[in-house]
Structure 1
Amino acid sequence: MKKFYRNYIANFEGLSKEIWLLSLVTFINRAGAMVIPFLSLYLVTDKGFTKPEVGIIMTCFGIGSFAGTWIGGKLTDSIGFYKVITGSLFLGGVGFFLLQYIDTFYGFCIGIFSLILVADAYRPAIFVASDVYSKEGNKTRSIALIRLAINLGFSIGPVIGGLIIAHISYTSLFWIDGITCAAAAILLFILLKPKKATIDEPVIIIKKEGLPPYRNTYFVLFFIIMVLTSITFVQYFSVMPLYYSEDHFLNEDTIGWLMFLNGAMIVIFEMPLVAWLERIKISKTMATFWGGIFIMLSFLVVNLTSWSGVLVVGMLLMTIGEMVGSPFSSALALEMAPKGRKGNYMGLYSMSFSISHMVGHNGGMNLAESFGYDITWYAMAAVLIIVSILTLWLYRLLKKSPKFSTL
């Protein structure tokens, strides 16, 4: 046990103090984001919206995310990641405060769009910040630590959120989300001074190297892969909770614990897994491939039986796919980005998740409404088969390129 503990701690050695601070701020932010995992349930059970209406609201979520990541990428390259991160966190907190007072369908469409536009400007900025503060050779581990913070917060958030819903009310979550976002912004403002962050920021790089992301053939293919993967992944944050509730009759408290399993596994196993995969020198592209395979299996397995225990197996498989694929796909995007354009590249990379919110939630909701959950999960598995073919194609293309042959 002591050996396991020492080896686990060793995975975190060599990371800069700024990366640890960014991870702490991210943890506080994500621990408070309790509304998001329960948003579809809240809209159906508390507000009385239909599944197609919820799908449209979640599409507005995706449009806001798309606009926010695009704006965030542009602002990161122009004014620097520090201002983008702190501004996004603080204004996002204000947005969560206000969201609880909306009751109408169109009001929610506008409110969700505005909130996520502000909140998701954070994404490209945090990736560029991790690149700036990473020491040579540990970018993937730095990203993995930030992901660990996200998932530690995300694992705690749903559990607390489920308990609050069960014993208090949904509206309490909005207050907690707002307070934690504002607290994360204040903590970053106090502990990470702008002067320290601007030494190597992209804003001082006048000459931009390489092609813009939308003209980089390799990156466009990678972007398509990430969009399709993310369309399937977001089902776990909208359609899957409804499936847990309607087909397996789980309450919000139990659903929160099931989501906790995802975050807990990532906190315990992702860093050692990433370190091991780096030691065996797996390419970032092939790690992305295997991540998609495990997520595909997670959708197939839940259709094998009506026994609710299979939901745990599905969550375990999805989590393995996330742990293998996500850190390496993020690192792959950073490695493909030339100097002076990292904000734009990471903005486009983040937009893949935004597009998935625009298409995935609505598509999944309407598939479930029209054909049932079983067909929906088979459809998601089919999309991931296409993803696996495209990823292998990207791997072969990169192997032929002298610049990217190691990716």
Structure 2
Amino acid sequence: MKTLFNNYLNTFKGLSTEVWWLALITLINRAGAMVLPFLSIYLNESLQLSFSDVGTVLAFFGFGAVTGSWLGGKLTDKIGYYKVMVRSLMSTGVLFILLQYLNTFFSVCLGVYLVITVADMFRPAMFVALSAYSKPENKTRSVTLVRLAINLGFTAGPAVAGLIVTLWSYSGLFWVDGITCILATLLMTLVLNPKKAKIQDDVKTENPQSVFKDKVFLVFLFAMFLFGVIFLQLLSTIPLYYRNGHYLSELEIGLLLGANGLLIFLLEMPLINWLENSKASKLGLILFGAILTTLSFLVFNVSSWSGVLIISMFLITVGEMIAFPFSNSFTYAQAKKGNLGEYMALYTVSFSLAHIFSHKVSMEMIVRFGFDNTWYIVTGIGGICVFLLFILKNYLRTKRKIA
């Protein structure tokens, strides 16, 4: 057991101090984002908005994510990642506190759009910072560490939020969320001074190519959009299927969904460390992750036995653990020919767009076609994603041989 624990700790070796600070700042920020899991309940119960209106507000959430990701990338290339991160975090904290005072449908739509736009400017800037503070061989593990922080934050956040709502009120969520963003900003200004921080891989190109001329990357982005569409079922249709298709209790649903975060916490870093030392290409690994995630939906229709839910959760979790870190790493590699901020912006935009379409479309499919047919359709979408990644993998392998 001691050897196993030491091997686990060894997977974190070699990462810079700045990367660890970025992970801690992200953990504080994500744990503080406790309004988000309760936003739909707050809108319906506290503001008395209909389900239709709640859906519209959440659509503005998605549009804000797209706008913020794009603006964050453009500003990062113009003024630098540090200024974007500081201003985004601080402004988000203030805006979250003010959001609680909006009480009409239109004001809430605009408020949510503005808050998420400012908040998501942080993401591409943070990815650029990770790249700068990581040696080329450590980039994938650096992303994995930050993903670990995000998962821990999202695990702790909702639990604390439930206590705050019970002991205080929904208003308390906005205050705590805003204050944690401000605290994360103050911590960042103390520990990540760009003049003192050690830059390990400052990606700059004298004559950067526009990302829209990089056909390989654009196909890759579309594949990642499709991957996002199927993966995000984990946040919407899958819990409903657990409840209405297999009649699980809230406790059982919580344990099954919690297994996703637990597996990521225990296995992702050692898994990525092992895969990085293999001979597999980044696209090959992303392809494998997409295959596992696609199969996780197909197994739903294999049997009515509830044990398939555990198999599905294992497949989607391992698929996620492989696909996300290496897709980030692939984006870094492609960005060597252009502006890193622009590349990371479009990468995050692809998942923001998936957020807009995934939940609404999949809910409509369940209403019209039922769960079983929905899983076949989702599997088909995953199949297109796998096909595109397979074509890209073979294209790049052939291109390297010719070169």
Task: Check whether TM > 0.5.
Answer: yes
Q: Deviations over 1:131-158 (max 9, x none)?
A: 1010241111111111111112122223
| Structure-2 separation of matches of 1:45 and 1:18 | 42
Structure-2 residue corresponding to 1:220: 218
C-alpha contact (below 8 Å) 2:132/2:199 kept by paired residues: no
**Normalized against structure 2, the TM-score is what?**
0.89
Which residues in structure 2 correspond to 1:22-101 (within 5 Å)? 22-43=22-43, 49=49, 51-101=51-101
For 1:194 and 1:29, locate their aligned partners in 2 and report how far apart those are by CA, in whole Å.
20
Is 2:174 aligned against 1:174? yes
**Counterpart position of 1:193:** 193
CA contact (8 A) 1:58 1:362 kept: no
Equivalent position SS for 1:187: helix
Instruction: Name the CA shift for 1:388/1:201 in 2 (closer, same or farther; >3 Å).
Output: closer
Report the Cα offset of residue 125 of structure 1.
Answer: 0.7
Q: Which residue of 2 aligns with 1:325?
A: 323
Structure 1 distance, partners of 2:3, 2:218, is 43
Shift of 1:48: 5.5
**CA-to-aligned-CA distance 1:193-218 (integer Å, 9 cap, x gap):** 13135967969x57233x21111010
Deviation of residue 60 (structure 1)? Answer: 1.5
- Tell me which amino acid in the other structure corresponds to 1:296: T
Q: Tell whether the 8 Å contact from 2:205 to 2:336 is kept in structure 1 after alignment.
A: no
1:306 offset after TM fit, Å?
Answer: 5.9
CA shift at 1:324, angstroms? 0.8
**Aligned counterpart, 1:230:** 228
User: Does the CA contact (< 8 Å) of 2:331 and 2:347 recur in 1?
Assistant: yes
* Matched residue type, 2:34: M
Instruction: Specify the SS of the correspondent of 1:196.
Output: coil
SS at match of 1:282: coil
Q: Are the aligned partners of 1:55 and 1:361 in contact in 2 as well (CA < 8 Å)?
A: no
- Amino acid aligned to 1:270: E
Kindly tell me the number of residue pairs found equivalent between the two proteins: 402
The amino acid across from 1:194 in the alignment is: P
Maintained 8 Å contact 1:19/1:130: yes
* CA distance in structure 2 between the aligned counterparts of 1:243 and 1:169, rounded to whole angstroms: 30
What letter matches 1:73 in structure 2? G
| Aligned mates of 1:75, 1:156 — CA distance in 2 | 31
The gaps in structure 2 that reach 5 residues or longer are none
Go from structure 1 to structure 2 and tell me whether the alpha carbon gap of 1:45 and 1:399 turns closer, same or farther (over 3 Å shift).
farther
Describe the shift of the 1:306–1:33 C-alpha distance in structure 2 as closer, same or farther (beyond 3 A): farther
Match of 2:349 among 336, 348, 351: 351
| Aligned Cα root-mean-square deviation (Å) | 2.8
| Structure 1 residue 228 displacement after superposition | 0.9
Percent of residue pairs bearing the same amino acid type: 46
* Structure 1: segments with no counterpart, 5+ residues: none
Question: Structure 2: how far apart are the matches of 1:403 and 1:81?
Answer: 36
- Correspondence for 2:105: 105
- Cα deviation, 1:323-370, whole Å, max 9, x if unaligned, reads 010000000010011255111111111110111122222222332343
- The answer for the alignment partner of 2:390 in structure 1 is 392
Distance 1:403 1:31 in 2: 46
In 2, are the aligned partners of 1:95 and 1:178 still within 8 Å (CA)? yes
Q: 1:258 to 1:185 in 2, by over 3 A?
A: farther
CA gap of 1:174–1:149, structure 2 versus 1, over 3 A, is: same
| Distance across 2 between alignment mates of 1:310 and 1:223 | 31
Alignment of 1:294-333 (within 5 A): 294-304=292-302, 310-333=308-331
For residue 322 of structure 1, report the CA deviation from its aligned partner. Answer: 0.8
Q: Classify 1:173/1:352 alpha carbon distance in 2 versus 1 (closer, same or farther; 3 Å).
A: same
Q: Distance in 2 between matches of 1:89 and 1:403?
A: 45
Write the letter of the residue equivalent to 2:207.
K
The one-letter amino acid paired with 2:151 is N
* Aligned match of 2:288: 290
- Residues 90 and 185, structure 2, Cα contact 8 Å, conserved in 1: yes
**The 10-residue stretch of structure 1 (396-405 or 105-114) with the greater mean CA deviation from structure 2:** 396-405
The Cα of 1:53 is off from its aligned counterpart by 3.8
Return the alpha-carbon distance in structure 2 between the equivalents of residues 306 and 33 of structure 1: 36
Question: What secondary structure, in the 3-state scheme, does the structure 2 residue paired with 1:194 have?
Answer: coil
Which stretch shifts more, 11-20 or 230-239? 230-239
- Residues 136, 228 of structure 1: alpha-carbon distance in 2 compared, 3 angstrom cutoff: closer
1-structure distance, mates of 2:382, 2:187 = 40
Paired with 1:404 and 1:70, the residues of 2 have a C-alpha distance of 35
Within-5 A mapping of 1:240-279:
240-244=238-242, 248=247, 250-251=249-250, 256-279=254-277
Cα distance in structure 2, aligned partners of 1:16 and 1:198:
9
For 1:243 and 1:66, how far apart are their aligned partners in 2? 28
Cα 1:287–1:37 shift into 2, 3 Å: farther
Q: 1:47 to 1:310 in 2, by over 3 A?
A: farther
